[in-house]
Structures are given as structure tokens and as C-alpha cells.
Amino acid sequence: MKLPGNMQNMMKQAQQMQERMQQEIALIKVEASAGGGMVSVKMDGQKSVLSVKIDPEVAGDVEMLQDLVVAACNEAAKKVDDETKQKMGGLLGGMGLPPGLF
């Protein structure tokens, strides 16, 4: 089934935009910390943890350390979400779509 020319162009543009968004998201790198910097986490745009740094001072208190790692990971994931929304907004803004559609 062949789509009308205009629709075919729109589908091609949508595919190109999706590829561009994936490339932009792949470039995202964030860092977040918890406990006043006692634990810090680096994360990429796919929310994969790239590294974790732990201050030796908290290494003895396992429960606190676990809580700080979770908090730092959650904060990093939130930063990835915020950056992704910002990048998507910039890319989709030129399309004239209503706000909040994506």
C-alpha cells in the first residue's frame, strides 16, 4: 500500500526525528549525589549507571550507604528524565505540535 506523497514525507520526517532524539538521548550524561556528596552516581541517557563513588567515611554504615546509593541513583534518573524532556521539547518545538503532546 502506497501512502500519499505528503503522508510519506511526514512519516519519513517522523522517523528522522526519532533517530535524532535517540542520538541526543545517547549523549546525555548526568551526575547526582546524596548525603552531601558522600555518594555520587554517574548515569547515561538510557539510565545505565556508569560509575559510583563512595566516601570511605560511610562505608562502615551499610544501611546508610544503601540508602545513599538509592537516593543518588534516583536523583540521577530524575536528571536524565529532565534532560530528555528538555531535548525532546527543543526538537519537537519546531513541528508546531500542541504542548504536552509528548
CATH number, domain with residue 53: 3.30.1310.10
Torsion sign (Cα): 2, 6, 7, 12: positive
Lowest mean pLDDT among 20-34, 59-73, 82-96: 82-96
Q: Which domain holds residue 82?
A: 29-91
Q: How far apart are CA 96 and CA 29, in angstroms?
A: 28
pLDDT higher than 70, residue 2: no
Average pLDDT over residues 68-92: 90
Q: Which residue has the cell 545517547?
A: 26
Question: Is 46 domain-assigned?
Answer: yes
Q: What is the pLDDT of residues 36-71, one digit of tens each?
A: 999 999 999 999 999 999 999 998 999 999 999 999
50 within domain boundaries: yes
How many domains is the chain built from?
Answer: 1
End-to-end Cα spacing for the chain: 28
Residue 36 or residue 18, greater confidence: 36
- Which helix H or strand E contains 13, and what residues bound it? helix 5-26
In-domain check, residue 54:
yes
* Angle between the N-to-C axes of helices 62-93 and 5-26, in degrees from 0 to 180, rounded to the nearest 10: 150
